[in-house]
Amino acid sequence: MMLGQLLNRESLRNLIVAMEIENRPIYGVTITKDTGNPDENTNKAYKDELLLERVFKPEMYLLPIATDEIRKNDGKLLQIPTWRE
């Protein structure tokens, strides 16, 4: 199997599960330690923090056509309906 084929399969898998994966929030971790303890590795506290609330809509499977490309084609090329302003 060639590298390009592997990447294409991964891309296809990502497209299939994008609604599930991309609608999850992104969390980070805050690590705090007890500064009064001489052994710094024993007293640490880990706290999850919400960094980003993500939203993936079905229309996001298709990317918008660049405005410059539409202008170059003298109006023959139309924007994807879900991306029209």
Averaged in consecutive runs of 10 residues, what is the pLDDT profile of the chain (85 residues)? Answer: 51 73 88 68 82 86 85 86 74
Residue 45, both tokens: 């506290």
Q: What is the pLDDT of residue 56?
A: 84
Given a contact cutoff of 8 angstroms between Cβ atoms, the answer to whether 78 and 70 are in contact is yes
Q: What is the pLDDT of residue 5?
A: 47
Is the CA virtual torsion 10, 14, 17, 23 positive or negative? positive
pTM, to two decimals: 0.49
